[in-house]
């Protein structure tokens, strides 16, 4: 949607996203230096975003949208690092695919890289505290991260284009039927697929997840027992 976010909104979202991305780059550098063993998982989280955000899927509303794939990164590494991973994908799509855009990059990084992952991260932490089943927590976190991304996109557009009659709320509904509704089935599928991938991560790299404090030793042991070798 290149050029579709007017002044001053495109600057506002750039200003909000930049510090988070800068902090994410700082954190990523430190993580890779201090805990080299997390690097493959970081690559996996980035690759997952690459695949999922390239899949334009048809939805019940008769239009197509794509999942975000950011839930995994958010659960493993938190929102700041996920913002950096999302930035890579968004720049690729903006530069070569005319999808997204350079002027809307700030807004897109904010919705897909920061707000969505922040929701996913908080939901996952909340679920763990409530002692919900591990895979259910992953499902909820990834689904809501995806959905929150599009809710924020809806809000961003509503703020920039308030309706003459209904104001921001009126346009929020108008854009909501386009984004938030279309995204519901996609978000659910993304949640299920992310949960399944986590089963495989538990199998091969569960120890690194303990180091990243995603799960504890005891929880990992239990999950591993549940997977037949």
Point out which residues bind other proteins (CB under 8 A): 1-4, 6, 40, 43-44, 46-65, 89, 92-99, 101-103, 135, 157, 161, 163-164, 171, 174-175, 178-179, 182-183, 185, 188-189, 192-193, 195-196, 199-200, 203-205
Measured CA to CA, the distance from residue 171 to residue 193 in angstroms comes to 32
Give whichever of 23 and 50 is closer to other proteins, judged by the CB atom.
50
* C-alpha dihedral sign at 7, 11, 14, 15: negative
In sequence order, what are the residues at sequence separation of 6 or more whose Cβ sits closer than 8 angstroms to the Cβ of residue 97? none
Q: What does the DSSP 8-state code read for residue 227?
A: S
CB contact burial 162-176 (16+ within 10 A = b; e otherwise): eeeeeeeeebbeebb
Q: Nearest-CA neighbor of 175 among 154, 156, 159, 160?
A: 154
Give whichever of 17 and 183 is closer to other proteins, judged by the CB atom.
183
Q: Residue 95: enclosing H or E segment and its boundaries?
A: helix 79-96
Give whichever of 20 and 109 is closer to other proteins, judged by the CB atom.
109
Nearest distance in Å: CB 222, other proteins: 15
Nearest distance in Å: CB 112, other proteins: 13
Nearest distance in Å: CB 84, other proteins: 16
Give whichever of 20 and 124 is closer to other proteins, judged by the CB atom.
124
Nearest distance in Å: CB 132, other proteins: 16
């Amino acid at each position: 949607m290149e050029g579709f976010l007017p002044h001053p909104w495109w600057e506002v979202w750039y200003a909000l996203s930049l510090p988070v991305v800068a902090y994410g780059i700082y954190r990523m550098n430190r993580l890779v230096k201090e805990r080299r063993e997390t690097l493959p998982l970081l690559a996996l989280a980035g690759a997952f975003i690459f695949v999922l955000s390239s899949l334009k899927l048809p939805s019940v509303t008769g239009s197509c949208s794509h999942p975000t794939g950011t839930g995994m990164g958010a659960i493993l590494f938190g929102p700041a690092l996920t913002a950096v991973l999302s930035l890579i994908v968004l720049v690729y799509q903006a530069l070569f695919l005319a999808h997204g855009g350079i002027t809307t990059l700030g807004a897109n990084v904010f919705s897909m890289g920061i707000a969505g992952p922040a929701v996913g991260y908080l939901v996952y932490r909340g679920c763990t505290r409530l002692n919900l089943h591990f895979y259910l927590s992953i499902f909820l976190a990834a689904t809501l991260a995806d959905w929150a991304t599009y809710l924020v996109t809806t809000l961003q557009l509503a703020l920039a284009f308030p309706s003459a009659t209904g104001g921001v709320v009126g346009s929020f509904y108008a854009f909501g039927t386009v984004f938030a509704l279309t995204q519901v089935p996609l978000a659910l599928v993304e949640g299920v697929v992310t949960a399944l991938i986590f089963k495989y991560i538990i199998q091969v790299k569960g120890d690194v997840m303990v180091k990243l404090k995603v799960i504890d030793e005891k929880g990992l042991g239990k999950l591993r027992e549940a997977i037949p070798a």
